[in-house]
Amino acid sequence: MRLILLGPPGSGKGTQAQRLIHRYGIVQLSTGEMLRAAVAAQTPVGLKAKDIMAAGGLVPDEVVIGIISDRLDQGDAAKGFILDGFPRTVPQAEALDVLLKKKHLKLDAVIELRVNESALLERVERRAAEMRTRGEEVRVDDTAEVLIKRLASYRSMTEPLIHYYSERRKLLTVDGMMTIEHVTHEIGRILAAIGAIEPKTPKRAAKPAARAARWKAPKSAKKASGGARKAAKSPSGRPKKATAGKAAKKSLRKAGSASARRPAKGSRNAAKKAAKKAKKR
C-alpha cells in the first residue's frame, strides 16, 4: 500500500497516518526525518543536504527525491508507505511519479482530508482560550494568527495537487470534520474498494461449518460405514432380514394362512365323494 495524505494543517493527517501504520504495518516517510537520518548516516545525498542546510538554504527537490529514493530501497518500506510532507508542489509530484516509475512502483491513492477552515480557526481559538483559563502557556505556533498563514500557504502551494491527482484518478476525498473513528473507518472502506487492502470477510455460521465437517469425515469412517452397508446386503445384492423377530412374524403369517386353507380343502373333497355315491345309486 503506497499512499499520500493531503489536507491543511489541523485536518488530522498525523493521527490517521499513525493509525494506518499500526494497522497495516507500513512506514511513514517524513521528509524532515529522512533528511536528518540521511545527514546522520553521511550518505552522499545526506552530505549534500547538510551543506545546503548549513548555509541556510532550502533543500532542492532533486536532493529530497534522492533521499526518498534511498529510503524506499530499505527493507521496511517493502510493505508500503505513507508520504508525509511530500510532495508539496506539482513539480515535486511529477518528480515523485518519475521516481516510482523507475522503481516499478505504483501509487495506490492520494487521500484528501477535506475540512472547513472556519471551523479549524474556531477550534484553535477555543483551545487557546481554554489553555489560558487553566493558566497554561499557549504555544506560539498554535494560535489563530499562525494557522491563518499556514492555511494561506497550503492553498497557494499544495492545493494544486488536488487537481493534479484528480486528473490522474488517484484522488479520494474524505470528510475530515467527522470524528476520528469515522474518518478511520471511511479511509479503510475506500482503500478496500480500490483493492489496496483486502476487505474483511464475514464469519461463517456454525451450521454450514458443521455440515462441512460432516462432508469432510475421515476416510476410515467412510470405509467403516461402507463396510456396514455391504454386510447388510445378501450375495444377490438384496438387503438381508434384519432381525429374528421379523422372521418369526413371517412364519406365523404362513402358518395361519395354511391352517385356514386346510379345512376348506377337506370340505371340498367330502362334497365330491358324496356326489359320486349319488350317481352310482
> Which active-site residues does the annotation give?
13, 88, 127, 139, 150
Least Cα distance to 42 among 62, 61, 70, 65 occurs for 70
Bond into 44 cis (ω within 30): no
CB burial class (10 A; 0-12, 13-18, 19+) of residue 38?
buried
Three-state DSSP class for 177?
A: coil
Q: What is the CB-side half-sphere exposure of residue 9 using CA atoms within 13 A?
A: 18
Q: Which residue has the cell 508539496?
A: 88
Least Cα distance to 4 among 119, 113, 95 occurs for 113
Between the alpha carbon of residue 41 and those of residues 57, 68, 84, the distances in Å are 21, 14, 21
Contact 4, 82 (CB under 8 A): yes
At position 167, the amino acid (one-letter code) is E
- Residue 75 is given by DSSP the state G
Report the chain's C-alpha Rg in angstroms. Answer: 44
Contact 57, 51 (CB under 8 A): no
